[in-house]
């Protein structure tokens, strides 16, 4: 056995491809950590991954475990860089995709523009054949027209085929037959049918999901294939895992078939990291916040568990209906507020922050690259929260004149000084983020005071304490390596699949067995899939969630069910539902409860990282001191803050705010009265004033 | 920005929180409701008013519901005007348009006072369409009702929860009067949960920032709404504009709109006497319809509040169809409301071409289908507004298949869910490509849905307008196409309907719902031939029709 285990995580972002490597020595249990960054290389993204490995001087031959996250799928969707898709659907329903749900979120706007469909009408074709909602065949599938349809698709330059039939969630036989016939008639064509991705009802959502998966499939398959080949050529023979939107990783083969499951893999790894970190430090209830350059994302973790849902949409906001993608995605709220968000004044003299971002080019005014609008980062610099002499870890000389000019320009419109404007920007940005955090907590029936705020990403630590105080949390934790925390999360991930199956069942005699059978059947499918990837059944763990509602309701509440389900246990399960429901919605009903479907989580550990605790050295925090400077804490006024070098902080060190911790990737703002403690893993714990 | 308590940033933050609260109330109600008309169609609205009932913030949903809640709260305040009448923990309900209910009896308005420092500082409220509130027909709407008494239980602005304790008699009366008692009880509790959640948030806000700052924020938000509206008013063409339009039933509706720097006056006084049947709106509802078109014209981007509507004046005559007198039936008020809304739109469109597209299908097209579910044996009722085609605007074809102008963030029902829940078969749900609505820019398409009935003795009730008088066009475009339903009997005969109630349908009868295509804009002969070729390729128009109306020679 080797003396070391080498785990690598790579993350392809819009601008940079990041790498984090943990080299764990078996004898000591200690890890050496290497990080590296290189440019992202569109359209051959795999090249960036190979480059960053080279840059970090990591020999692929020595790597045991490689996890990979990528924005390739989401970018292909948002930049409309997928392929021409042909859709085959049930007779009478070719317009489902175009009708969508008919909603107009921007409802006073008489010039609202409905999102354009991904498949034009002439490429949406129908086949006769019908199932009902119970999965019974009403009319057999007629495959005879398929040959002519595919001929038309070929002639029209279609590169991928999506199939979605009515009620395929209940019985996929027609979709399976059509898919195999497509493959027979058109060998080599990229094709996907909706039941392979989801077994839930709602035909528009499922059709759109199949279409979007087909749309990105050829590019994603090619990309993953080349990445695999490139690594193999360099001698890599370890396990390659791809990060998924459900916070798990999956094998390359499996992801290549349904690449749409990667759509939110970036945020998912960070939130998983937060959940794992919480377990490590004994904080099982976590509010996780990831602030990047353009957006802030947040998610709630209860009792160490992330919440996975299939109600995911892209490009959906107050002005657009967006597009649904019915795949398991970590429950997150995203807002257009990041370090690069631009502050602006509307025609009526109101100050706003975001959602427009200065991006990497020109970036914040203080980058000195021609940006003339003040951003959240400029405000943080101006108020002394970010060290103007150590901007971007010392790699950029802050152009304070440009920042001042930008803040003054906005100030002129408001009749306010640059400092007033900067404080206003911070407060508004914080309020936007607080509202997002409330959406995932209060809005779902959770009291934030029972949670610990874990903040990461480049900007998380700058705002976390103010947000935590506003929400009333007792403690804020900034993880070690907050700027590359997502990559760490990937290394902590399990091989994981979430199965959502729609099936109605009433909680009365016979119901228990039916529900048990559904779980058992789905678990068998999961075991078979894992088996095909040589994961032993003994390593697979299941979590069973029932999706319940009061009869006649639509939206469901998930309840975790442990053990074998029988009629005898129905009362207990029902009681658990009533309790969960009441917590979330303040009341319960004396109405029949029914099961609408199940959510089965199947996971297997695939050699994730074990973190080793370091003992306190006994050194005092003063050794990390970099002096003092004046910091403007907005509502709490200007204070002389102690400045600490994050790289010199050791486990066991303690100190109090006002303070600022600086390390190359992030700046942690500690408010007056906060008590700081560094734990055995290098995480910063900030206890807020009671 | 000197004082911490009243500085503009604090006010802005409170305003954002009011918006977030209205949205949270909306989300809570949506998730817990029992009727698909609420949770799927989202025929509901949430709002926050100040202590005096002025609208401060509104949640997502339906524009036609946004101006309702403040009017209800004002009626409650008038009625419960003695000390001790309104106490912390109380929850009120009204549904009667002659007692602050504004719309029709199906819409239950639930409102809750928010207390701080021992007095009311705000109200949280919501409105939602309930499946059945009694009355002479299932679903409570009947096309032949002649008095409001026939349209269901009247709740004339009453208390239903006192100091946090439900008043059992009120709940008993409500449930016993409904054909679907479980549904109404579930939906009512969803509404109560929603106002309670909102009230809790507002109390927290007031505690955190202080009552005076909280109230100042609501005031400044409304003043801001007014400022934005007035700025836009100044940019609009000033003068008086008039339109008289024939209706499907042969009556003529008239509007005069006078726009000046300070006012936007809509004069609906010269209109027919109130209807014998249920096609009437109360004055408050007419006012709401006018607020919707006014907001679209002045400030579509920001949320509505009381200030947004300050420059708007609406004139009506009591005893007309836009200002019905008790006890006129009002079940189909919404088709009257949308007619008034469309009338103003059509009146002004020629004068504000950049603001107003050509006419859309312009009907709620409320469709009610019910009976016994063949698989479960339980009663089901479909209650759904329809989606349809929108008119073209200069430079762009109209949208296909979206909800009408008085609906908004509402959703159609998936066929898969409808088949399971309602026990019928959706044979097709597709775009309606009947000829019409062509122009240089063409109107968007309506839809065609076929519901195949699986059990005898089911019923259809409906009320559509724009079934004879078509969606109007602009600048030489073609008119759109009508809204109607066909009952296609299994014996091969067809019946066409726009209005009807309790129409009996049996196994294997098919109810075909057709909604109109929007009006075109500009001469169809001027349409870009490439666009015409695309239309033909996509089957939106037949080659013959393209030759005929567009002069297409491809």
Closest Cα of chain A to B448: distance in Å? 10
Q: Among A180, A215, A250, identify where a domain stops.
A: A215
Residue A359 has pLDDT above 90, yes or no: no
pLDDT at residue B362 in the model:
98
Tell if the CB–CB gap between A110 and B396 is shorter than 8 Å: no
Q: Chain A, 613-672: which have a CB under 8 Å from a chain B CB?
A: 635
Distance, C-alpha A576 to centroid of its chain: 29
User: Is there a domain that residue A306 lies in?
Assistant: yes
Averaged pLDDT score across all residues of chain A: 91
pLDDT at residue A71 in the model:
83
Same domain, A308 and A455: yes
User: Is there a domain that residue A610 lies in?
Assistant: no
Low-confidence winner among A36-50, A555-569, B167-181 (lowest mean pLDDT): A36-50
Show the beta-strand stretches assigned E in B24-118.
44-50, 55-61, 91-94, 107-116
Residue of chain A nearest B191, judged by CA positions? A585
Per-residue pLDDT band for A228 (boundaries 50, 70, 90) equals: very high
Residue A404 has pLDDT above 50, yes or no: yes
Q: Which of B28, B42, B416 sits opposite A201 (nearest CB)?
A: B416
Residue of chain B nearest A121, judged by CA positions? B538
Tell if the CB–CB gap between A420 and B1 is shorter than 8 Å: yes
| % of chain B at pLDDT higher than 70 | 98
- For the stretch A183-204, pLDDT in tens is 999 999 999 999 999 999 999 9
Tell if the CB–CB gap between A169 and B419 is shorter than 8 Å: no
CA distance B429 to A166: 12
| Sign (positive or negative) of CA dihedral A506, A512, A514, A517 | positive
A156 to chain B, any CB pair closer than 8 A? The answer is no
pLDDT at residue B529 in the model:
97
Same domain, A104 and A181: yes
pLDDT at residue B388 in the model:
98
pLDDT at residue B1 in the model:
37
- For the stretch A333-342, pLDDT in tens is 888 888 889 9
- For the stretch B280-320, pLDDT in tens is 999 999 999 999 999 999 988 888 899 999 999 999 999 99
Contacts of B34 in chain A (CB under 8 A): 550, 552-553
Mean pLDDT, to the nearest integer, of A388-405?
89
Mean pLDDT, to the nearest integer, of B342-353?
96
B251 to chain A, any CB pair closer than 8 A? The answer is no
pLDDT at residue B251 in the model:
95
CA distance A437 to A471: 8
HEC string of B343-392 equals HHHHHHHHHCCCCCCCCCCCCCCEEEEEEECCCCCCEEEEEECCCECCCC
Burial B73-89 (b: 16+ CB within 10 A, else e): bbbbbebbeeeeebeee
Tell if the CB–CB gap between A428 and B13 is shorter than 8 Å: yes
Task: Assess contact for A164 and A158: CB atoms under 8 A.
Answer: no
Q: Which of B61, B357, B402 sits opposite A111 (nearest CB)?
A: B357
User: Is there a domain that residue A345 lies in?
Assistant: yes
Q: Which of A101, A121, A553 sits opposite B32 (nearest CB)?
A: A553
Closest Cα of chain A to B142: distance in Å? 24
User: Is there a domain that residue A611 lies in?
Assistant: no
CA distance A35 to A481: 10
Q: Chain B, 22-41: which have a CB under 8 Å from a chain A CB?
A: 24, 27-28, 30-36, 39-40
B120 to chain A, any CB pair closer than 8 A? The answer is no
Per-residue pLDDT band for B2 (boundaries 50, 70, 90) equals: very low
Q: Chain B, 41-60: which have a CB under 8 Å from a chain A CB?
A: 42, 60
B16 to chain A, any CB pair closer than 8 A? The answer is yes
User: Is there a domain that residue A560 lies in?
Assistant: yes
Which site among B31, B128, B202, B403 would you substitute to test the A interface, given the most A Cβ atoms closer than 10 Å to its Cβ?
A: B31
User: Is there a domain that residue A582 lies in?
Assistant: yes
Low-confidence winner among A354-358, A413-417, B487-491 (lowest mean pLDDT): A354-358
Contacts of A437 in chain B (CB under 8 A): none
- For the stretch B493-512, pLDDT in tens is 999 999 998 999 999 999 99
Same domain, A210 and A237: no
A420 to chain B, any CB pair closer than 8 A? The answer is yes
Q: Chain B, 299-318: which have a CB under 8 Å from a chain A CB?
A: 299-301, 304
Same domain, A316 and A374: no
Per-residue pLDDT band for A420 (boundaries 50, 70, 90) equals: very high
Low-confidence winner among A282-291, A549-558, B178-187, B342-351 (lowest mean pLDDT): A549-558
ipTM of the complex: 0.93
Helices vs. strands in chain A: H and E counts, helices first = 16, 35
User: Is there a domain that residue A615 lies in?
Assistant: no
pLDDT at residue B7 in the model:
77
Q: Chain B, 402-421: which have a CB under 8 Å from a chain A CB?
A: 402-403, 405, 407-412, 414-417, 419-420
Mean pLDDT, to the nearest integer, of B202-226?
93
CA angle, B110 then B113 then B119, to 5°: 170
Same domain, A579 and A474: no
User: Is there a domain that residue A178 lies in?
Assistant: yes
| % of chain A at pLDDT higher than 90 | 67
| % of chain A at pLDDT higher than 70 | 99
Residue A319 has pLDDT above 70, yes or no: yes
Token output for A421: 């404007």
Tell if the CB–CB gap between A428 and B12 is shorter than 8 Å: yes
Q: Residue B370: how many CB atoms within 10 A of its CB?
A: 24
Same domain, A633 and A671: yes
Q: Chain B, 161-220: which have a CB under 8 Å from a chain A CB?
A: 182-183, 185-186, 189-190, 192-193, 196-197, 201
Domain total in chain A? 6
Contacts of A96 in chain B (CB under 8 A): 429
Which site among B6, B7, B8, B9 would you substitute to test the A interface, given the most A Cβ atoms closer than 10 Å to its Cβ?
A: B9
Same domain, A322 and A451: yes
Same domain, A108 and A209: yes
Domain CATH for A501 = 3.30.1490
Tell if the CB–CB gap between A111 and B427 is shorter than 8 Å: no
Tell if the CB–CB gap between B429 and A92 is shorter than 8 Å: yes
Domain that holds residue A152: 85-215
Domain CATH for A284 = 3.30.420.40
pLDDT at residue A2 in the model:
65
Same domain, A333 and A346: no
A174 to chain B, any CB pair closer than 8 A? The answer is no
Mean pLDDT, to the nearest integer, of A380-390?
92
pLDDT at residue B550 in the model:
97
Tell if the CB–CB gap between A110 and B410 is shorter than 8 Å: no
Per-residue pLDDT band for B4 (boundaries 50, 70, 90) equals: very low
pLDDT at residue A690 in the model:
52
Tell if the CB–CB gap between A416 and B1 is shorter than 8 Å: yes
Q: Which has the closest alpha carbon to B453: B512, B413, B495, B403? A: B512
Low-confidence winner among A367-381, A472-486, B484-498 (lowest mean pLDDT): A472-486
Which site among B12, B289, B363, B416 would you substitute to test the A interface, given the most A Cβ atoms closer than 10 Å to its Cβ?
A: B416
Residue of chain B nearest A156, judged by CA positions? B537
Same domain, A293 and A235: no
Closest Cα of chain A to B164: distance in Å? 12
Residue of chain B nearest A548, judged by CA positions? B32
| % of chain B at pLDDT higher than 90 | 82
- For the stretch B45-69, pLDDT in tens is 999 999 999 999 987 777 888 889 9
Same domain, A460 and A320: yes
Per-residue pLDDT band for B3 (boundaries 50, 70, 90) equals: very low
Tell if the CB–CB gap between A95 and B401 is shorter than 8 Å: yes
Report helix angle B8-32 to A570-585, nearest 10: 150
A613-619 LR contacts (CB < 8 Å, sep 24+) = A613/A680, A613/A681, A614/A651, A614/A680, A614/A681, A614/A682, A615/A651, A615/A652, A615/A680, A616/A650, A616/A651, A616/A652, A616/A653, A616/A680, A617/A650, A617/A651, A617/A652, A618/A652, A619/A650, A619/A652, A619/A653
Q: Among A262, A293, A320, identify where a domain stops.
A: A262
- For the stretch A83-95, pLDDT in tens is 999 999 999 999 9
Same domain, A209 and A98: yes
Closest Cα of chain B to A428: distance in Å? 7
Mean pLDDT, to the nearest integer, of B92-109?
95
Residue of chain B nearest A430, judged by CA positions? B13
Higher pLDDT, A664 or B130: B130
A201 to chain B, any CB pair closer than 8 A? The answer is yes
């Amino acid at each position: 056995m080797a003396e070391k285990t080498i785990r690598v995580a790579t993350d392809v972002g819009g601008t940079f491809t990041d790498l984090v490597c943990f080299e764990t020595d078996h004898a000591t249990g200690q890890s050496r950590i290497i990080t590296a960054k290189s440019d992202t290389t569109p359209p051959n993204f795999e090249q960036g991954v190979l480059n960053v490995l080279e840059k970090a001087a990591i020999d692929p031959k020595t790597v045991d475990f490689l996890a990979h996250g990528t924005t390739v799928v989401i970018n292909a969707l948002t930049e409309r860089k997928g392929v021409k898709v042909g859709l085959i659907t049930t007779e009478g329903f070719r317009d489902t995709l175009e009708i969508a749900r008919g909603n107009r979120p921007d409802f006073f706007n008489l010039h609202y523009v409905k999102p354009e469909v991904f498949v034009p009408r002439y490429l949406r074709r129908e086949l006769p054949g019908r199932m009902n909602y119970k999965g019974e065949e009403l009319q057999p599938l007629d495959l005879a027209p398929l040959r002519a349809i595919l001929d038309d698709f070929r002639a029209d330059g279609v590169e991928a085929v999506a199939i979605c039939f009515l009620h395929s969630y209940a019985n996929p036989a027609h979709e399976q037959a059509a898919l195999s016939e497509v493959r027979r008639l058109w060998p080599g064509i990229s094709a996907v049918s909706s039941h392979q991705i989801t077994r839930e009802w709602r035909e528009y959502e499922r059709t759109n999901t199949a279409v979007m998966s087909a749309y990105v499939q050829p590019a994603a398959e090619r990309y993953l294939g080349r990445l695999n080949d490139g690594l193999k050529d360099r001698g890599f023979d370890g396990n390659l895992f791809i990060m998924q939107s459900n916070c798990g990783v999956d094998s390359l083969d499996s992801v290549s078939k349904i690449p749409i499951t990667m759509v939110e893999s970036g945020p998912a790894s960070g939130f998983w990291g937060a959940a794992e970190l919480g377990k490590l430090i004994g904080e099982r209830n976590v509010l996780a916040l990831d602030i990047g350059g353009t957006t802030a994302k947040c998610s709630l973790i209860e009792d160490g568990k992330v919440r996975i849902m299939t109600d995911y949409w892209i490009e959906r906001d107050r002005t657009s209906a967006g597009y649904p993608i019915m795949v398991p995605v970590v429950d997150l709220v995203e807002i257009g507020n990041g370090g690069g968000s631009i502050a602006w004044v509307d025609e009526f003299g109101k100050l706003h922050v975001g959602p427009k971002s200065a991006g990497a080019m020109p970036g914040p005014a203080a980058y000195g690259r021609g940006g003339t609008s003040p951003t959240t980062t400029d405000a943080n610099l101006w108020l002394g929260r970010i060290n103007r002499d150590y901007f971007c870890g010392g790699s950029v000389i802050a152009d304070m004149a440009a920042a001042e000019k930008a803040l003054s320009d906005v100030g002129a419109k408001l009749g306010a000084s640059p400092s007033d404007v900067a404080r206003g920007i911070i407060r508004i940005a914080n309020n936007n983020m607080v509202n997002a955090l409330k959406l995932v907590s209060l809005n779902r029936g959770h009291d934030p005071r029972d949670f610990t705020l874990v903040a990461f990403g480049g900007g998380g630590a700058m705002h976390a304490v103010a947000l935590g105080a506003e929400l009333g949390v007792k403690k804020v934790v900034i993880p070690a390596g907050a700027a590359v925390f997502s990559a760490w999360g990937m290394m902590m991930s399990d091989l994981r699949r979430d199965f959502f199956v729609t099936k109605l069942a009433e909680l009365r005699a016979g119901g228990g067995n039916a529900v048990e059978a559904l779980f058992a059947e789905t678990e068998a499918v999961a075991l078979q899939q894992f088996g095909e990837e040589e994961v032993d059944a003994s390593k697979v763990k299941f979590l069973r969630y029932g999706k319940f509602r009061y009869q006649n309701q639509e939206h469901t509440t998930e309840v975790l069910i442990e053990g074998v389900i029988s009629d005898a246990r129905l009362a207990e399960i029902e009681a658990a539902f009533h309790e969960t429901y009441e917590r979330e919605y303040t009341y319960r009903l004396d109405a029949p409860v029914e099961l609408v479907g199940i959510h089965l989580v199947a996971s297997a550990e695939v050699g994730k990282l074990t973190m080793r605790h370091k003992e306190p050295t006994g050194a005092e925090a003063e050794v990390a001191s970099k002096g003092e400077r004046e910091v403007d804490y907005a509502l709490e006024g200007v204070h002389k803050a102690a400045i600490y070098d994050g790289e010199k902080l050791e486990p066991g060190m303690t100190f109090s705010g006002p303070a600022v911790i600086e390390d190359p990737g992030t700046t942690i703002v500690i408010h007056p009265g906060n008590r700081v403690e560094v734990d055995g893993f290098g995480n910063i714990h900030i206890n807020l004033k009671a | 920005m000197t004082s911490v308590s009243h500085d503009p940033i604090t006010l802005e933050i409170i305003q954002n929180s009011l918006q977030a609260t209205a949205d949270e109330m909306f989300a809570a109600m949506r998730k817990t409701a029992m009727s698909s008309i609420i949770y799927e169609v989202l025929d509901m609205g949430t709002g926050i008013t100040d202590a005096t009932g002025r609208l401060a913030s509104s949640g997502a949903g339906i524009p036609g519901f946004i101006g309702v809640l403040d009017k209800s709260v004002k009626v409650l305040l008038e009625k419960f005007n003695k000390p001790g009448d309104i106490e912390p923990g109380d929850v009120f309900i009204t549904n009667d348009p002659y007692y602050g209910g504004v719309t029709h009896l199906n819409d239950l308005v639930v409102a809750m006072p928010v207390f701080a420092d021992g007095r009311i500082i705000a109200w949280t409220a919501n409105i939602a369409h309930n499946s059945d509130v009694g009355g002479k027909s299932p679903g409570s709407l009947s096309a032949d009702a002649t008095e409001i008494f026939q349209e269901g239980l009247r709740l004339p602005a009453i208390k239903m929860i006192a100091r946090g304790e439900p008043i059992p008699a009120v709940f008993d009366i409500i449930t016993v009067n409904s054909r679907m008692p479980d549904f109404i009880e579930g939906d009512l509790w969803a509404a109560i949960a929603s106002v309670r959640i909102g009230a809790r948030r507002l109390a927290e806000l007031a505690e955190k920032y202080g009552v005076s700052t909280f109230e100042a924020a609501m005031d400044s938000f409304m003043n801001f709404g007014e400022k934005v509206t007035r700025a836009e008013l100044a940019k609009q063409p000033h003068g008086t504009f008039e339109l008289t339009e024939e209706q499907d039933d042969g009556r003529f509706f008239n509007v005069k709109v006078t726009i000046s720097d300070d006012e936007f006056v809509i004069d609906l006084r010269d209109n027919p006497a109130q209807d014998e049947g249920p096609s009437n709106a109360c004055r408050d509802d007419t006012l709401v319809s006018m607020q919707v078109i006014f907001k679209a014209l002045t400030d579509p981007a920001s949320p509505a509040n009381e200030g947004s509507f300050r420059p708007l004046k609406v004139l009506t005559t009591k005893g007309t169809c836009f200002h019905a007198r008790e006890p006129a039936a009002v079940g189909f008020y919404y088709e009257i409301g949308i007619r008034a809304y469309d009338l103003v739109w059509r009146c002004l469109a020629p004068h504000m071409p950049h603001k107003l597209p050509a006419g859309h299908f312009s009907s709620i097209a409320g469709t009610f289908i019910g009976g016994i579910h063949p698989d479960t044996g339980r009663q089901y009722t479909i209650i759904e507004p329809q989606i349809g085609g929108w008119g073209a605007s200069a430079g762009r074809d109209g949208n296909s298949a979206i909800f009408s102008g008085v609906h908004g963030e509402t959703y159609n029902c998936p066929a898969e869910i409808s088949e399971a829940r309602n026990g019928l078969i959706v044979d097709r749900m597709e775009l309606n490509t009947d000829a019409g609505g062509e122009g240089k820019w063409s109107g968007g398409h309506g839809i065609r849905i076929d519901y195949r009935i699986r059990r005898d003795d089911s019923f259809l009730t409906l009320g559509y307008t724009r079934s004879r008088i078509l969606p109007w066009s602009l600048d030489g475009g073609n008119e759109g196409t009508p809204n109607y339903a066909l009952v296609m009997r299994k014996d091969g005969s067809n019946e066409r309907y726009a209005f009807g109630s309790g129409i009996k349908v049996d196994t294997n009868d098919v109810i075909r719902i057709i909604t109109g295509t929007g009006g075109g804009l500009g001469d169809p002969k001027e349409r870009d031939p490439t666009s015409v070729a695309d239309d033909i390729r996509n089957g939106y128009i037949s080659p013959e029709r393209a030759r005929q109306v567009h002069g297409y020679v491809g």
